[in-house]
Copies of this chain bind each other. A is one copy, B any other.
Amino acid sequence: MQPSEFPFLHRLRVRWAETDPQGIVFNGHYLTYFDVAITEYWRAVGLPYPGSLERFGLDLFVVKATVEYHAPAQYDDELEVGVRVGRIGNSSLQFVLGVFRAGEHLASGEVIYVAAHPQTRRPQPVPEAMRALLRSV
């Protein structure tokens, strides 16, 4: 996996509070990195979260997240988190992610959301307009 496989890259720096006694980023924080990068992806397509989803009467709930760890990120590393939209199902959205340091592939993963009614949390179809925008980057 390479940065060039992603239409969108978000850059962030590893914080001291995110590293553990092994000197590496605690495994759970990659999901925070994914979340931050996906937030920026939504902003990039013109649908900043959460306000613009409410226009569609929708909220997003994570139903599955996976991280594969290839090499550890360390304190103060500058990382690039690549985001691309994978499969868009009837009510589900898959984001595919990659984490890189100076081009080196450190981690990869996916986060799958379901579009749902904000209160009832009942799944709702992903609107056509949203599909088009998500593919626009």
Contacts and interface: CB of A to CB of B under 8 A. Distances in A.
A22 B20 CA distance: 8
Copies in the complex: 4
Nearest to A118: B22
Interface residues of A, number: 35
Contacts of A63: 68-69
A29 B29 CA distance: 8
A67 B35 CA distance: 14
Contact of A32 (B15, B30, B39, B62): B15
A90 interface: no
Given A16-B39, A63-B69, 12 more contacts: A15-B35, A16-B21, A16-B26, A21-B23, A21-B75, A26-B35, A27-B111, A28-B35, A61-B72, A63-B68, A64-B66, A64-B69
